[in-house]
Amino acid sequence: MNSVRTVLKSAAMPMLPALVAALRDLLGPKGYADDPAELAPWLTDWRGRVTGRAAAMLRPDTAEQVAAIVRLCAAAGVPLVPQGGNTSMVAGAVPGEADDALLLSLRRLNRVRRIDTEENLAVVEAGVVLADLHDAAAAVGRRFPLSLGAKGSATIGGLVSTNAGGTQVLRHGTMRALTLGVEAVLADGARFDDLAALPKDNRGYNVTQLLIGAEGTLGVVTAATLRLSPAVGARAVAWVGLRAPADALRLLRRLERALGDAVEGFELIPAIALELVLRHVPGTRAPLGGAWPWHALVEAVAEGAPDPGEALATALGEALAAGLVGDAVLAASERDAGEFWRLRESIAEGERAEGPGAKHDVSLPVAAMPAFLEEGAAAVGGAFPDTRVIAFGHLGDGNIHFNVGAPSTAGADPARWLAEDAPAITRFVNDLVAARGGSISAEHGIGQLKRDELLRLSDPARLGVLRAIKGALDPLNIMNPGKLVPLAEEGTGQ
Ligand code: 2HG
Ligand code: ZN
């Protein structure tokens, strides 16, 4: 790992004038910006936790330009930080505070190159915004079935690079299942092209899968071939009031028995999360009259006939009669359905508006999650009085955002709370998860914010593999340095 260390030092040098001149020449005025005011919004992460430094922002509009940029930067030993919509939850797409990197915006690579309705696939560039892909697929009677709150700004390159999940994983899987092949520029500037998406291909390691979820640390994804589904014929959406997380999981299993794989969304929402949304997000209202400690948002989808509404209503009616469910309402229109989903998708926004919090994106075997929700919240409440556990999300995937909101006393100095108190809470929560064999990053990745914890809790075998792959594919450490892979000199955490 000597080469990695050496280049880390040289990367802190001011950017070479010759490199700047070559990049300006390559990209033209639209593709190169170094005005600090223009860069500023892209240097702070969505949560406002990290403000990094970059000498310039590069905005190529072709994959060839990306390859030329990487070659120039590799020759000069200058690191690149790829960025799409800058919606990372772990500061994965902004430079570090001490970096002298170049920001590589992929947002101008925003073409839908091809949609094939016979093969049900779309070839799209990295900068295509998720909602735009949804529209492009809908226009030809198809659907890209991955969705999340940030769909209006998150880009395909970021979704691939973080193996994004979202709210439809239950049926359609994460980006790993939906990405059939990628095109990428590797750390030496070589272009890797796997867009043909061959159904069978055993030429060794699966390079596409290696690049998915690599957080830009092994190369820059410039395009992807994605799997499409038939358009939705009809959907039924329900908001359910529940007494306990264990009831929520029983309800999910019951609905799956009644409706099969039509059930594609099942999100768990505690009263506190709904409260934050109602308080901070304009135009929202509670779907149910009564107060329930827990809620589930359920979506059942039929691609052709029959409409799943009747089956969902019957199954919920039976669950009510059995005492499993406290109350439930079916969306009476697409507009209602949209409002239910807006409540769920605005939770992160509501939390952000409420104040600082320690975020934990954890997963466990699904069956273990209800008990963890109760026991974990009690343990956190005991150890850190006055904090508020806001645990919500993708129960059917065993993935919950087990966030802990700061006590109101932190309001006077949120930065101090985040720097001094939040890390102790994070270690406490992650220890509970690790003791149960779970993951401390189910869908948001590691980025900058979870590296310490990855290092502390990963077993040496996993860390060794991560480091070996990084060292082999990016020996100069110029691909999104400071993210995901802890370097050898940081120890093993054991
Ligand atoms: C979600 O499921 C996102 O809404 C964000 O993954 C989770 O705010 C969070 O912790
Ligand atoms: Zn989530």
* CA-closest residue to ligand 1 atom 10: 401
Q: Is residue 471 part of a domain?
A: no
pLDDT for residue 325 is more than 90: yes
Is 393 a pocket residue for ligand 1 (Cβ < 6 Å)?
yes
Per-residue pLDDT averaged across 350-367, rounded? 96
Domains held by the chain: number: 3
**What is the percentage of the chain residues whose pLDDT exceeds 70?**
95
For residue 152, the domain's CATH number is: 3.30.465.10
Q: Which of 344, 397, 401, 440 to mutate to test the pocket of ligand 1 (most atoms within 8 A of CB)?
A: 401
Contact at 8 Å (CB) between 161 and 141? no
Residues 191, 238 share a domain: no
Compute the distance between CA of residue 469 and CA of residue 37 in angstroms, rounded to an integer: 37
* CA-closest residue to ligand 1 atom 8: 348
Residues 299, 320 share a domain: yes
Structure tokens at 159: 């979704």
Q: What is the pLDDT of residues 116-161, one digit of tens each?
A: 999 999 999 999 999 999 999 999 999 999 999 999 999 999 999 9
DSSP letters spanning 33-51? E--HHHHGGGTB-TTS--B
Residues 123, 38 share a domain: no
Q: How many CB atoms lie within 10 A of CB 420?
A: 11
**Distance in Å, CA 75 to ligand 1 centroid:** 39
Per-residue pLDDT averaged across 457-477, rounded? 96
Residue 10, Cβ density class (10 Å: 0-12 exposed, 13-18 middle, ≥19 buried): exposed
Atom of ligand 1 nearest to the CA of 344: 4
Residues 126, 61 share a domain: no
The residues with which 143 forms a beta bridge, in sequence order, are 229
Lowest mean pLDDT among 23-32, 92-101, 387-396, 421-430: 92-101
Residues 141, 182 share a domain: yes
For residue 6, the domain's CATH number is: 3.30.43.10
Residues 247, 219 share a domain: no
Q: What is the pLDDT of residue 491?
A: 53
Q: What is the pLDDT of residues 263-278, one digit of tens each?
A: 999 999 999 999 999 9
Atom of ligand 1 nearest to the CA of 352: 8
C-alpha dist (Å) from residue 317 to 163, 216, 297, 396: 37, 47, 15, 21
Contact at 8 Å (CB) between 227 and 117? no
Q: Is residue 437 part of a domain?
A: no
Q: What share of the chain is helix, strand, coil (3-state, %, to 5)?
A: 40, 20, 35
Residues 276, 261 share a domain: yes
Q: Where are the beta strands (DSSP E) in 191-282?
A: 191-193, 219-227, 229-230, 234-242, 263-270
**Distance in Å, CA 402 to ligand 2 centroid:** 10
Residues 238, 225 share a domain: no
Q: What is the pLDDT of residue 410?
A: 87
Q: What pTM did the predictor assign? A: 0.94
At 287, is the pLDDT very low, low, confident or very high (cuts 50, 70, 90)? very high
Is 52 a pocket residue for ligand 1 (Cβ < 6 Å)?
no
Contact at 8 Å (CB) between 248 and 292? no
Q: What is the pLDDT of residue 11?
A: 43
Q: Is residue 180 part of a domain?
A: yes
**What is the percentage of the chain residues whose pLDDT exceeds 90?**
90
Q: Which of 148, 159, 363, 440 to mutate to test the pocket of ligand 1 (most atoms within 8 A of CB)?
A: 148
Q: Which of 230, 247, 278 is the last residue of a domain?
A: 230
* CA-closest residue to ligand 1 atom 2: 393
Is 150 a pocket residue for ligand 1 (Cβ < 6 Å)?
no
pLDDT for residue 247 is more than 80: yes
Residues 195, 210 share a domain: yes
Residues 130, 93 share a domain: no
Which ligand is closest to the CA of 399, given by its number?
2
Q: What is the pLDDT of residue 306?
A: 80
**Distance in Å, CA 78 to ligand 2 centroid:** 33
Question: In this structure, what are the phi and psi dihedrals at residue 218, rounded to the nearest 5 degrees?
Answer: -115, -10
**Distance in Å, CA 169 to ligand 2 centroid:** 10
Q: Is residue 369 part of a domain?
A: no
Q: What is the pLDDT of residue 409?
A: 85
Q: Which of 348, 382, 399 is the last residue of a domain?
A: 348
Q: In terms of DSSP bridges, do strands 80-83 and 101-105 run parallel, antiparallel, or are they unpaired?
A: parallel
Q: What is the pLDDT of residue 100?
A: 79
pLDDT for residue 411 is more than 90: no
pLDDT for residue 10 is more than 50: no
Q: Is residue 169 part of a domain?
A: yes
Q: How many CB atoms lie within 10 A of CB 439?
A: 16
Q: Is residue 200 part of a domain?
A: yes
Q: In terms of DSSP bridges, do strands 234-242 and 294-302 run parallel, antiparallel, or are they unpaired?
A: antiparallel
Residues 146, 251 share a domain: no
Is 344 a pocket residue for ligand 1 (Cβ < 6 Å)?
no
Atom of ligand 1 nearest to the CA of 149: 4
Is 359 a pocket residue for ligand 1 (Cβ < 6 Å)?
yes
* CA-closest residue to ligand 1 atom 5: 348
pLDDT for residue 166 is more than 90: yes
Asked, as a colleague might, if the bond just before 370 is cis with ω within 30 of 0, I would say: no
Q: What is the pLDDT of residue 488?
A: 66
Is 347 a pocket residue for ligand 1 (Cβ < 6 Å)?
yes
Instruction: Indicate the length of the chain as a whole number.
Output: 494
Residues 87, 34 share a domain: yes
Q: What is the pLDDT of residue 98?
A: 76
Which ligand is closest to the CA of 348, given by its number?
1
Q: What is the pLDDT of residues 67-110, one digit of tens each?
A: 999 999 999 999 999 999 999 999 999 999 877 799 999 999 99
**Distance in Å, CA 348 to ligand 1 centroid:** 5
Structure tokens at 312: 């969902």
Is 348 a pocket residue for ligand 1 (Cβ < 6 Å)?
yes
pLDDT for residue 3 is more than 80: no
Q: What is the pLDDT of residue 8?
A: 41
* Averaged pLDDT of the chain: 94
**Distance in Å, CA 135 to ligand 2 centroid:** 22
Q: What 3 state SS string does 97-117 have?
A: CCCCEEEEECCCCCCEEEEEC
For residue 242, the domain's CATH number is: 3.30.70.2190
Q: Which of 60, 86, 108 is the last residue of a domain?
A: 108
Q: Is residue 492 part of a domain?
A: no
The parent domain of residue 212 ranges over 112-230
Q: Which helix (H) or strand (E) holds 329?
A: strand 327-330
Is 15 a pocket residue for ligand 1 (Cβ < 6 Å)?
no
Atom of ligand 1 nearest to the CA of 403: 10
Question: In this structure, what are the phi and psi dihedrals at residue 298, rounded to the nearest 5 degrees?
Answer: -115, 135
Which ligand is closest to the CA of 47, given by its number?
1
Q: Select from 89, 31, 90 the least CA-distant residue to 61.
A: 31
Per-residue pLDDT averaged across 444-467, rounded? 96
- Taking CA 298 as the corner, what is the angle to CA 294 and CA 299, rounded to the nearest 5 degrees? 165
Q: Is residue 49 part of a domain?
A: yes
Contacts 24+ apart (CB under 8 A), 109-117: 109/60, 109/61, 109/62, 109/63, 109/66, 109/157, 109/222, 109/223, 110/155, 112/136, 113/223, 115/140, 115/142, 115/228, 117/141, 117/142, 117/228
